[in-house]
Every structure is written in structure tokens, then in C-alpha cells.
Amino acid sequence: MLTSIVSYNLNGIRSAISKGLLDWLRQEQFDIVCFQETKAQPSDVGGLDIEALGYTQHWHSAEKKGYSGVATFSKQAPDRVVVGCGMEKYDREGRILRTDFGDVTVLNCYFPSGTTGDVRQSFKMGFLDDFLDWVQELRKERPKLIVVGDYNIAHQEIDIHDPKGNKKSSGFLPEERAWMSKWLEHGFTDAFRQVNPDMVEYSWWSFRAGSRGNNKGWRIDYQSVSENLAGQIKAARQLTDVVHSDHCPVLMQIDL
């Protein structure tokens, strides 16, 4: 069965809805939709009739109003939902939502950004190490994993429009890129890069200076799959013409 999975940082679900998000969902009818940076509690979102679009909905919102948060919408109701990862400092920020579908687990993740300074950069690096350890433990129980979301890291030079100019920028620091390499070495496959080894596509553009119109972007949104699912990836692309956010959706089609 071919399953379509979309990951999409909305930079605020209410803003995205005002730009036609629900009409787009109604038209496309993806199987699983993972949103990051919802910046809302479900009760804050007026007129959000997800069930009318044929989806079940599960949310992990941040304690802080208007900040972070993830939500997973799926055509098939998950067999199990786990909110958070059990580490309070990350769970209070609404960063990880697990949904199980049969023997496959989908992790919808919003990795921290380090762009606001040293404190948050340190928090981000701590998250990366803790997350990898946590996932390695989870794999013992749930070996078939799909880990989607905004990783806030451009892995290789091909994944960023100006690698030389951004070599000291959070999101493209050597230690962040090294973590991405380590992540893949620990048994995960970057779906887009497997299917499109040489393709240049981005998933995020700054609001500044016409970056999106000039395609000066970064690929920081990923769909990683455990190696036991890598052979089932059929397609993976950035949906760059979809505009509800400063990110675009990332689509994977996988035979589950």
C-alpha cells in the first residue's frame, strides 16, 4: 500500500489557515500530515474541522502560548499515540509526537533552533544528543521508524544556497552537520537524498530580501526512515509551489 506522508512547518497554523491551508488539504488528501510550529492549542483555532476533511487529529502543544508545537493528522486512526519523549525540558516545548500504525512508528518532530543565541544553540545541541539516544532506545521496541519534521539543520553544501557565507550560521555549523552525518550512520536514510542524490531543492527561505523568489533557501525539513524501510521509499520531494509558510511541505511516498 502506497502511503503519502507530508511534513510541514507552518510557522503558525492560524496564519497558514488564513492562506488556504485547509483547502489545500481537502484537495490533496494525503494519508498522514505532520505539522510543526503550530503555535497554538487546538481550542485556539476557530473553524478547524479536521474530521470533516477525513482526518483524525493529535496535538502536542507547547506550554508557552503561541510557541512551537506539533500536530499529526491521519486518515487512519493510529493504534497508539505518545505525546512527548519523557524529557520535561523538551516536552514543555511541544517537540515530539509519536503515532503508531501497525508495526510502523511515525515521529513528528520540531527540533530546536539556535538562531537566537548561545543559550538556545546549547539547548539545541543537547536536544540532538538526547534525541539520538532516545530514538536508539525506542528502536529496540519499535524498529520500523519514520522520523519527519523540521530538523533545523542543512546537512550538506547541496542543501543550502550559500554554504560559504553560512558556515558560521546556526543550522549549518560543523557540529550540527556532523550530528546529521552521525544520525544517518546510526541506521537512518534521508528519503529525499536517497531518491534524488543530486537534486537541489530547499524547504525554507528567509522572509528577507526576496529569498524565496530568488530561491535562496535551505533544506532543513527531512523525512528519515530506518534502514529496514529504506527500500520501500518510492518518491520524495519538496512541494516548493505550496505557500502557506516560510517553509514548504515535504512529501514522501512509501510502500507500507
Let me know: does 105 contact 138? Beta carbons within 8 Å. yes
Active-site residue (options: 49, 133, 150, 190) = 150
Cα-based distances in Å from 15 to 49, 199, 217: 16, 30, 21
| 150 in catalytic set | yes
What is the C-alpha separation between 219 and 155, in angstroms, rounded?
8
φ/ψ (deg, to 5) at 108: -100, 115
Indicate the pairing of strand 56-60 with strand 70-74: antiparallel
Provide the annotated active-site residues.
150
